[in-house]
Amino acid sequence: MTDHIKIRALSGKWSIRAAGAVIAETCGALELTEQGYNPVIYFPRDDIAMAFLDQTEKTSHCPHKGDASYFSIITKNGPIENVAWSYEAPQEALVEIKGHLAFYLNDKIAIEQV
């Protein structure tokens, strides 16, 4: 792992609400902290209702983590665009986040410990 990025398992159960609906619950959340950024919580893909997410064309690259793919959440009020991302093939030092998604917080997305 790089010196400025740390990953730790979070205790307890965590959930994601999108437009008020629970789309994920897990006891397997990971917190990634990277120097200079706010901590980010990653949820295992298997614990997310992926039927509500559509992969988009957006991508980005982090020299430490690798290439990210983005997802929109489809709600009854319309999509929440590019609100989640995943490193499908992360750098070897950060392989723990493979198979996990992280979400941008906004007025339609809430991440909570339940």
Structural domains of the chain, ranges and CATH numbers in brackets:
5-113 (2.170.150.40)
Q: Is there a contact between 73 and 55 (Cβ–Cβ < 8 Å)?
A: no
Average pLDDT on 23-37 reads: 96
Higher per-residue pLDDT: 93 or 84: 84
Q: Rounded to whole angstroms, how far apart are CA atoms 36 and 4?
A: 9
Q: How much is the pLDDT for 3?
A: 80
Other residues' Cβ atoms within 10 Å of the Cβ of residue 9: 10
Q: What pTM was estimated for this model as a whole? A: 0.94
Token pair belonging to 78: 């319309």
Ranking 1-15, 68-82, 86-100 by mean pLDDT, the lowest is: 1-15
pLDDT tens digits, one per residue of 38-67: 999 999 999 999 999 999 999 999 999 999
Alpha helix (H) residue ranges in 1-114: none
pLDDT in tens, 11-20: 999 999 998 8
pLDDT at residue 100, as a whole number: 98
Q: Is the pLDDT assigned to residue 23 strictly greater than 90?
A: yes
User: pLDDT confidence of 2, banded at 50, 70, 90?
Assistant: low
